[in-house]
Structures are given as structure tokens and as C-alpha cells.
Amino acid sequence: MTRTSSAPRVVQAAGLHPPSLSRLRHAFTLVEIVIAVTIVAILTAAAIPSFQGFRDEQVAREPVIALVRMAKEARLRAMQEKRPYQIAFHSTGFNASRHFNPYLQLAELNEFIAADEAGIQGIRDDDTQDDPDSEVNNAKPSTALPLAPPPPKLDNQWHDDYTLPANTTYTLQYWHEVQPTAIEGELVKLWVFQPSGICQPLSIDIQRETASFHIEFSALTADITREVIDLK
């Protein structure tokens, strides 16, 4: 008598193998792929406006960057040469040079810039430098050993200019002024850097079509102490 087992038998076709657990664990479902693509799309969409805003801010900041660079150079020259330097603010921009007139007018500033661009010797601090009869030019050379290194050569010709972009206006306010002054017309305002490196505390407001800036400068270092940016 033949006994037949009632347990089911699994018949496997030749060449077919069940998927391994490792392969199942590394596979992604369609839902997971859709979720990942959606997250990437959201992050990309959020990054594009931020990058564009950063570029707009950098372009709008050009006058501020130029003024900071100019102030650093003027202050450094004032300390190295032991004489004051200045930044002259006028309606079309600002100009850095040595300090030669506390009551500088726009016509005189333009004449100074034009003379320098033409290669003509600029205004000097001491008119006796060209006088052959002056005591300075007739002094006999000394044979004594110097106690300190000679001072750096004075650069009467150095100046730096920046022209404001179109549709840009700005105001200045010194620490002793009650309200800001709009720089327009023939008005010229001076920011003087002393040989000690000290300058007047100054705040400036720059208005552009794409942004407005409020900048405050330190009296000791001419660094920016406060900056408020409003992108439009």
C-alpha cells in the first residue's frame, strides 16, 4: 500500500530564482522617486530668487564698496604721509585726494581733477616749494646721521574718483548735524582724515532704484559700524 504525502510541494521553473533580500532593500519605489524629485524641485525654486536677490544687492552696493575702499586708502595715506586727506562728496559722485581747501567748491574740485588728468602738477601744500629763494630750497644738506628713516615721498597727484550710477541720490550727516544734507547742485561736503587716522563720524544714505542703504562710519577706523539695507 502506497502512502501519499499531503504536504504541498513547490515546483520551481528552471533558471528562475526568488529575489534576494539585499536586492529588495536597495530598490526604490515609484513613490519614493516622485517624492525625491519634488523635494529637489522645491529647493531649486527657492534658491533661484535668493541667488537673484544676492546679485541685485551686490550691484546696488557698488557705491558703498567704492566709498569704503576710498576711505581706507585716504586714511592710510594720511597716516603714512603725516598730512590730512579728504573725500569730497558732490552731486555726481565723490573724489578722494589730499586735503588742500576746507572750503572747497565744485568748480575748484573739477579744476583739480582736470589738471591731474592732464598731467599738470596739482596744488601744493606749501607754495614755497617752487621759490628758489626760500630757506627750504637753499638749506645746505646735513652730514649728520638721521635718527629716523626719511618720511615717504609725498604724492601730490594722487586722487581717486567714483561717479554715481544714474538715478542715484544720497545724503550725508555728520555727528554734529541735526538732519541729513542732500548732496545736489554745486554743494561739496568734505570728509577729512587726519594724520592720526581719525576722521569725522559720518552717516550716509544712498537711494537707488533697486535698493537703499544707510551706512554709519567709525571716527577711529573709518569702518562701517552699522548698515541697513532695503531691497526694493
Query: Does 62-119+154-231 carry CATH code 3.55.40?
Result: yes
Give percent of the chain above pLDDT 90.
29
Instruction: Kindly list the domain boundaries of the chain, sorted by start residue.
Output: 29-57, 62-119+154-231
CA atoms lying within 13 Å on the CB side of residue 91: 8
Q: Where in the chain does DSSP place strands (E)?
A: 85-90, 93-98, 159-163, 169-174, 181-182, 189-193, 202-207, 211-217, 224-231
* pLDDT interval class at 8 (50, 70, 90): low
Question: Is it the case that residue 178 has pLDDT exceeding 60?
Answer: yes
For the residues 209-220, what does the mean pLDDT come to? 89
Task: Check residues 80 and 21 and name the one with the higher pLDDT.
Answer: 80
For 86-141, the pLDDT digits (tens) are 999 999 999 998 887 766 677 777 776 676 666 555 444 443 344 444 444 455 55
Q: Which three cell numbers stand for residue 43?
A: 529647493
Q: Please spell the DSSP secondary structure of 165-180, one letter per residue.
A: PTT-EEEEEETT-SS-
pLDDT at 125: 47
For 157-176, the pLDDT digits (tens) are 788 999 998 888 999 999 88
42 sits in which H/E element: helix 30-60
DSSP-derived 3-state class of residue 49 = helix
Sheet harboring 202-207: ordered strands across? 181-182, 169-174, 202-207, 211-217, 224-231
* 66-70, 146-150, 197-201: range with lowest mean pLDDT: 146-150
pLDDT at 138: 53
CA distance 205 to 62: 14
Question: Is it the case that residue 218 has pLDDT exceeding 80?
Answer: yes
User: Any idea which residue has 585726494 for its cell?
Assistant: 97
CA distance 47 to 80: 46
